[in-house]
Amino acid sequence: MIKPTINRGNPCPLTNQFIISIVKLVARSESRVTGGLEINFVSEALMKRLNREYRGKDVATDVLSFAWGEVSLLFSGNRLSPVLGQLYLSYSYISRQAKRFGVSAREETVRMLIHGLLHLAGYDHERPEAATDMFARQEGLVARVFKL
C-alpha cells in the first residue's frame, strides 16, 4: 500500500486528490511502489541546490527522486511501515519545459511525477535499453491518466 504525503512549499495547480490518484495508478502497475512517499513541490532555487548537493549538477531540474530503501521505516499508527522515498518537483521549471515540448503544464507535471515514481521503483535511463523500457512505461502510464 502506498501512503503519499504532499508538501507544497511552492504552488502547483494539481489537486492533492489528482496527485494521489496518479500515485495509486503507478502503485497498481509497479509492485515496488509501496510504503511511505513524500512528494514536495519546491522552488527552482531549492531544486538547483539539491541537484548540486546530491548529483553534482549546478542547475535546476524538473524532478529529483530519493529512494530510502527497505531499511528505512516510517511510524504509521501503531507500527512501522517501509518508506519508498521522496520526490521533489519544481512546477515552475516543469511548466516552462512543457512549453518547449508543446504539451500542457498539467500533462508534463503528471509525466514528471510518474518519472520520479519509476525511479523510486528502480528504473533508470542510463543505458539505452533501460531508457527504452522506462520511457515506454512512463508514457503508457501518462496515457492511462489522460486516457489518450
Provide the 10 A C-beta neighbour count for residue 11: 8
Range 68-97 average pLDDT: 74
CA 100 to chain centre: 20
Confidence at residue 81, expressed as pLDDT on a 0 to 100 scale = 57
Q: Could you tell me the pTM of the whole model?
A: 0.91
Q: Which pLDDT value is given to residue 148?
A: 59
Q: 3: which 3 cell numbers?
A: 501512503
**Distance of alpha carbon 33 from alpha carbon 121, whole angstroms:** 6
The DSSP code for 93 is H
Rg (alpha carbons) of the chain, rounded to whole number = 15
Q: Which of 6, 2, 4, 66 is nearest to 42 (CA)?
A: 6
Report how many domains make up the chain: 1
Domain that holds residue 49: 2-146
pLDDT at residue number 83: 80
* Across 36-43, average pLDDT: 96
pLDDT tens digits for 107-144?
999 999 999 999 999 999 999 999 999 999 999 999 99
Q: Give percent of the chain with pLDDT exceeding 70.
A: 91
Q: What is the per-residue pLDDT for 138?
A: 98
Nearest to 46 by CA among 66, 68, 62, 69: 62
- Mean pLDDT is lowest, of 21-30, 47-56, 67-76, 103-112, for 67-76
What's the mean pLDDT when you consider all of the chain? 91
Cell numbers found for residue 7: 508538501
Which of 111-148 are b and which e, b meaning 16 or more Cβ less than 10 Å from the residue's Cβ? bbbbbbbbbbbebeeeeeeeeeebeebbeebbeebeee
For the record, the C-alpha cell of 122 comes out as: 528502480
The pLDDT value given to residue 125? 94
- Confidence at residue 70, expressed as pLDDT on a 0 to 100 scale: 46
pLDDT band at 75 (very low <50, low <70, confident <90, very high): very low
* CATH number of the structural domain spanning residue 40: 3.40.390.30
Q: Please report the pLDDT score of residue 82 as a whole number.
A: 75
Distances (CA, A) of 7 to 40, 41, 102: 5, 6, 28
